[in-house]
Each structure stands twice: as structure tokens, then as C-alpha cells.
Amino acid sequence: MRKRRGNVAMEAARRWQERRVSVGRDVRSMRVARRWTQTELAERAGIGRMMIGRIETGTAALDAEVLERLGAAFGVRVLLGFGRDPVEDVADAGHLAMQELALRLGRRAGFVAQFELATRPQNPRHSADSALADDRRKVAVEIECWNTFGDIGAAARSSARKVAELEELVAHRWGEEGSVSSVWIVRDTARNRSIIARYPEVFRSRFPGSSESWVRALTAGGDVPAEPGLVWCDLKATRIFAWRAPRRNDRG
């Protein structure tokens, strides 16, 4: 334990020395850019001139107050904090969890599952969140996973474009017998429900496919609906369930 503490102390000292040198370079660079002398900076920051000299050479014992004084003098923000925690999950963990669920369900239902399928191979930036294919039935499914809605119109256009590009790939693979359909998997949050309820005609017209049929297709290998559909995903991304499209006389 003592050896481990010693290693931590040595590493901390090394990092702090690197930080002092880096801060010193920045302070000198900003001072020179403003054509200030060390004395002028010291007066502006309320710090002794000798301290400014030690800071610029990386030999001063810095503290947060000194850094904030310098930041205020230069008119810049001081950024203090930690880097990314190595045990923290990936940045898109929520989205990945939904993709993982879609791929796992699809594989169990008899599909060949593909993560981030490039719908335009010559431009890998064009890809579907997930894609499923069934050679026996000659059908492919373009899947979009949504943690939270943003620009609905842009998302719909992007999804339609991916379907069109996937149709070209399907034509090369299966000929005229091949078909492509699309489904959105949406996390069941209060915000997402509120957005759908606010624009019922938009979502009803965009997703006319039976949500119940889509759930059966993705979980039990049922027939894939020809029309685009929307299904819910629970908050923990462990299951999907049907979305009930509002009736014509519903207000959401």
C-alpha cells in the first residue's frame, strides 16, 4: 500500500509540473500578445511581479485563486476539471444500448443483423443505425434508434434517403423480388411521448405500418410490414413494445 501511495504521489508531481510549465507558456504568450510587461500584468492581476516571473518559468506553486486572477486580467476563462473517467461508459451508451437491443432481437428472429450499415458504400458517413436482412424472404429492414427527438423533418428525410439507398443494395442482391421497409425504435420518455402527442398527424402519416406487426416481426420473425412503423423501447433498452397511433378524434 505504501509503495502504491508513493507511485501516486510521483505521478501527481509529474503531472503538476507539466501543468505549471504549460500554464507558464500560456501566461507569457498572452502577456506578450498584449504587449504588457510582467509588472503591468502583476498590477492588473494583483499579483507580485516576482510571482509572474516564476509562473512564466513554470516554477511557481500555483493555486486556483492565482489562476482566476490571471484569467480575469486577460479576460479569458480558466478551465479547471478532470479528464474523461476511464471507467465511464462511452458517450453514446444510450443509443448503443438501443442498437444492441435491435440487433439482438433481429438475430433471434432469424435476420442477419448489421450495425451501422453503410447504405452508400462509397460514402461511409451514410449509414443506417442498424439493418436486418432475411435472404429467405428477400427483405431488408432499415432501423433508426432515437433516444430523443430533434429535427423530425430532417430525420424523416434522412431515413427515407437511407431506405432508397438500401433499395439499390437490395436490388443488386435479390433483384426485383427484394424489398425494404423501415422502422423507428423510440425510447419511451415523457418528452418523446409529448412530441408525438403534439403532432399526431405527422407521426400517423409518417408511420402507417402496424406497430403490433412490427413488434412481432422484430421479436418473433413475423412478416415484415411493408409500411414504415414506430415502436417503443423501454428506458433500460431491454424490450420493445407497440405504439398506439392516436385516433382521428384524439388530441394526443
Q: What is the pLDDT along the chain (252 residues), one digit of tens a residue?
A: 555 667 888 888 888 888 889 899 999 999 999 999 999 999 999 999 999 999 999 998 888 899 999 999 999 988 876 766 655 545 567 888 999 999 999 999 999 988 877 666 555 556 777 889 999 999 999 999 998 888 899 989 989 998 998 898 889 889 999 999 999 999 999 999 999 999 999 999 999 999 999 999 999 989 999 999 999 999 889 999 999 876 665 443
Contact (CB, 8 A) for 214 and 229? yes
pLDDT of residue 80: 75
Query: Cα–Cα distance between 173 and 121 in angstroms, integer?
Result: 14
Q: What is the DSSP letter of 82?
A: -
CATH for 93-242 is 3.40.1350
| 78 Cβ neighbours under 8 A, 6+ residues apart | 64, 67, 68, 70, 71
Fold of 2-74: 434 Repressor (Amino-terminal Domain) (1.10.260)
Decide: 180 and 134 in contact? Cβ < 8 Å.
Answer: no
Q: Whole-prediction pTM value? A: 0.62
pLDDT of residue 142: 93
Delimit the domains of the chain by residue range.
Answer: 2-74, 93-242
Q: Please tell me whether residue 209 adopts helix, strand or coil conformation.
A: coil
Tell me what pLDDT residue 90 has. Answer: 53
- pLDDT for the residue 11: 85
Question: HSE on the CB side for 164, CA within 13 Å?
Answer: 6
Helix, strand, coil shares of the chain, percent, nearest 5, are: 50, 15, 35
- 114: which 3 cell numbers? 448489421
- Tracing cell 504549460 back to the chain, one arrives at 22
Please give the backbone phi and psi of residue 228, each rounded to the nearest 5 degrees, phi first. Answer: -60, 145
pLDDT of residue 7: 81
pLDDT of residue 129: 76
Q: What pLDDT does residue 252 have? A: 39
Provide the pLDDT for residue 9. 85
Sheet of 240-242: strand order equals 112-118, 127-134, 139-146, 179-187, 229-233, 240-242
- What pLDDT shows up at residue 126? 60
